[in-house]
Amino acid sequence: MRQRAGVQTRSAPRLARAAPPAPAASVSRETAPLLLSHPSPPAALLLPLAKAAGTAQWSTGDSLAWAPQLEPASADLLFTCPPYYDTEVYTEHERDLSTFIAIEFEEAYGAILAATSAALKPDRFAVVVCGDSRDKRTGLLRDMRGATIRAMLGAGLGYCSGAVHVMPAWSLAATAARYFRGRRTLGRIHEDVLVFVKGSANKAAKACGRVEVAFPETSSSALPSNGQRAAEVSAGAS
């Protein structure tokens, strides 16, 4: 098997750091790895929803070569949304992860996650957004979620939380019936948001600082009571 290095062109790992102000952002490629340092004004342009994140420094290149050069235990957060195998081929470059066969992809992907995880401080979170990929030859699913969890556990992190990122349904509406008729394939309109921790989740949460949580347009008075639900069930049964 050919051994090839990997570059994540869709979105290589991003590391957020709490550090002194850095030089002005130099953006060379939209999908290159992102390093964040705190605080500095240009981040307001790059990340309008996280204005306090700091200056963005963009790096372009081979992630397998870049990640091991990161300073150990220097980052407060790892965030990445990698290529989903070869679902979308971003370039024809031989070191682009999206051109790899599955076994080579998982080997390179795991090495990149391990190296970037080493740059995390103790008691910090790592977030990976991923989704399953369908083999273009066999039509079978490849378990990106499972590959990610195995890689992160192998890097010494714990799998501590997760969520589902729901995508717009309009594109699925155009293809769901055709795929179901042909192969009884169910459509998917979500990605997995996987949260890992290096060390203690409690200490990592404290390191994040205070977080305000609210549910707009929702109140206890708008929700049915247990008695109301029981009455509805009884009415439906009769």
Looking at residue 161, its pLDDT comes to: 93
**pTM, to two decimals:** 0.67
Q: What is the 3-state secondary structure (H, E, C) of the chain?
A: CCCCCCECCCCCCEEECCCCCCCCCCCCCCCCCEEEECCCCCHHHHCCCCHHHCEEEECCCCHHHHHHHCCCCCEEEEEECCCCCCCCCCCCCCCEHHHCCHHHHHHHHHHHHHHHHHCEEEEEEEEEEECCEECCCCCCEECHHHHHHHHHHHCCCEEEEEEEEECCCHHHHCCHHHHHHHHCCCCCCEEEEEEEEECCHHHHHHHHCCCCCCCCCCCHHHCCCHHHHHHHHHHHHC
Looking at residue 195, its pLDDT comes to: 97
Q: Domains in the chain, please, with CATH?
A: 14-237 (3.40.50)
Averages of pLDDT over each 10 residues, the chain, 238 residues: 38 53 35 35 43 66 88 93 87 86 91 95 95 85 92 96 83 78 80 95 92 70 50 43
